[in-house]
């Protein structure tokens, strides 16, 4: 019996010494945990701590689990930066904010439960937590910072809470396993590169109140279907480049399509354009090789450089009477295009606009005044028909002299 008591006393003494050692390892000032100087693998932060300070556990590589106390309201900048073995974090219900890079490159963190009451997640808070596969976002969350979950390659599903109005730059970029995303009805904007490289994302339901989609927002996603809502006013550069949908309806609220917005969407075969669309950006439909016909709406004034470059199955193009300019190489490489009518309002045709259109046998040009013409706008085998009244004007115009042999009066 005596021996048991002695052993028990020794165990309790050891535990007490360990706890005391851990307590000494914490540097706490006015409720802020400034730093931790120990090497324990499992920690419980003292109750008096109300905030985790900047880089408090910076690169604590032996730390595997930690419990933060009730009463704690904030986790500071880079608090657990580079804690590569950290696999378990217990957060208190009192937590209000998670700071910039708080869990940056915590490579072993596979899941985390964020408490109700949390209002903000800072930039790069969970940046490249490469094994993070599950995270819940509480209903109280009002903001998620730039690149907050970027590089979380195992994250498969996320539901964004109602009340959230924006998704910032690269918030979920390179989340390659992300296959399900639920967006709130309150969402108004999706930032640049928000879902860049989310190659597992095949479907997304965009809410009706959404007004803007940023540059490269869904670049290289596997989206097989998407509906652009009415009220959408801006689609950024490369927003849907390399996506996999076969058809798209552009809403009437949209007045411009950004540069490369749908470039290299190889499966895209049908587009519906609204009246009111004023411009199509550079390379907007670059190498959309399944696109066979487009009818561009009245009101459209300009087609950007390489807008339909390499659309080699495009065989029918209807241009509106309002069109004034066609950019460089806009239809270059459209090998199936055999004939096209250019409107009377046209004032400029860019260099190589119809270059490499090997089957383009005839162009009907309705402009009475010869439009400005870039070099090699048409292939040598293309016949260009203009009104008999303006034929001599075209032939005498210096910029059209190289094509004088191709000019002929309208039949």
Output phi, psi for 228, to 5 deg. Answer: -85, 125
Residue 14 confidence (pLDDT): 36
- Name the 3-class secondary structure at 182: strand
Query: What average pLDDT does this structure show over 387-407?
Result: 94
Beta strands in 59-161 (DSSP E): 65-67, 74-75, 88-90, 97-98, 111-113, 120-121, 134-136, 143-144, 157-159
Residue 7 confidence (pLDDT): 39
Query: What average pLDDT does this structure show over 186-204?
Result: 97
Give the HSE-up count for residue 2: Cα atoms under 13 Å, Cβ half-sphere.
0
- Evaluate whether 133 touches 107 at the Cβ level (below 8 Å): no
**Residue 58 predicted with pLDDT over 90:** yes
- Evaluate whether 96 touches 119 at the Cβ level (below 8 Å): yes
Query: What average pLDDT does this structure show over 41-60?
Result: 98
Residue 22 confidence (pLDDT): 55
Share of the chain above pLDDT 90, in %: 93
| Rounded distance between C-alpha atoms, residue 62 and residue 79, angstroms | 15
pLDDT tens for 335-378 read 999 999 999 999 999 999 999 999 999 999 999 999 999 999 99
| Rounded distance between C-alpha atoms, residue 73 and residue 51, angstroms | 6
Residue 401 confidence (pLDDT): 87
Show the tokens assigned to 138. Answer: 């509480």
pLDDT tens for 288-300 read 999 999 999 999 9
Query: What average pLDDT does this structure show over 153-172?
Result: 98
Share of the chain above pLDDT 70, in %: 94
pLDDT tens for 91-143 read 999 999 999 999 999 999 999 999 999 999 999 999 999 999 999 999 999 99
**Residue 2 predicted with pLDDT over 80:** no
Architecture of domain 20-152: Alpha-Beta Horseshoe (3.80)
């Amino acid at each position: 019996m005596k021996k048991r008591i002695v052993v028990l006393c020794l165990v309790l003494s050891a535990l007490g010494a360990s706890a005391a050692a851990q307590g000494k390892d914490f540097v706490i000032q006015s409720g802020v945990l400034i730093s931790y100087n120990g090497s324990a693998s499992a920690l419980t932060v003292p109750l008096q701590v109300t905030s985790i300070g900047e880089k408090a556990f910076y690169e604590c590589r032996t730390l595997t689990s930690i419990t933060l106390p009730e009463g704690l309201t904030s986790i500071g900048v880079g608090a657990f930066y580079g804690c590569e073995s950290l696999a378990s974090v217990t957060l208190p219900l009192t937590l209000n904010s998670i700071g910039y890079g708080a869990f940056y490159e915590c490579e072993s963190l596979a899941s985390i439960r964020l408490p109700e009451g949390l209002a903000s997640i800072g930039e790069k808070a969970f940046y490249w937590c490469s094994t993070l596969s599950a995270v819940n976002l509480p209903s109280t969350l009002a903001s998620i910072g730039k690149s907050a979950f970027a590089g979380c390659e195992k994250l498969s599903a996320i539901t964004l809470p109602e009340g959230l109005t924006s998704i910032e730059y690269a918030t979920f970029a390179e989340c390659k396993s992300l296959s399900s995303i639920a967006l709130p009805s309150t969402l108004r904007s999706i930032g640049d590169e928000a879902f860049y490289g989310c190659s597992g994302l095949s479907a997304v339901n965009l809410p009706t109140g959404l007004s803007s989609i940023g540059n490269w927002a869904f670049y290289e996603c596997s989206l097989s279907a998407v509906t652009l809502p009415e009220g959408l006013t801006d689609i950024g550069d490369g927003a849907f480049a390399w996506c996999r949908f076969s058809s798209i309806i552009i809403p009437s609220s949209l007045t411009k399509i950004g540069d490369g917005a749908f470039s290299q969407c190889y499966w895209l075969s049908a587009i519906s354009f609204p009246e009111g669309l004023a411009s199509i950006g550079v390379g907007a439909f670059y190498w959309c090789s399944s696109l066979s016909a487009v009818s561009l709406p009245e009101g459209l004034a300009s087609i950007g450089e390489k807008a339909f470059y390499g659309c080699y199955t495009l065989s029918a193009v209807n241009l509106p009477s309002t069109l004034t300019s066609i950019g460089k190489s806009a239809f270059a490489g459209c090998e199936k295009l055999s004939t096209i009518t250019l409107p009377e309002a046209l004032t400029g045709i860019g260099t190589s606009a119809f270059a490499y259109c090997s089957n383009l046998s005839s162009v009907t040009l309705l402009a009475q005044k010869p439009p400005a013409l870039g070099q090699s706008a048409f292939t040598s085998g293309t016949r260009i028909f203009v009104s008999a009244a303006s034929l001599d004007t075209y032939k005498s115009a210096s910029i059209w002299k190289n094509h004088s042999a191709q000019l002929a009066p309208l039949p």
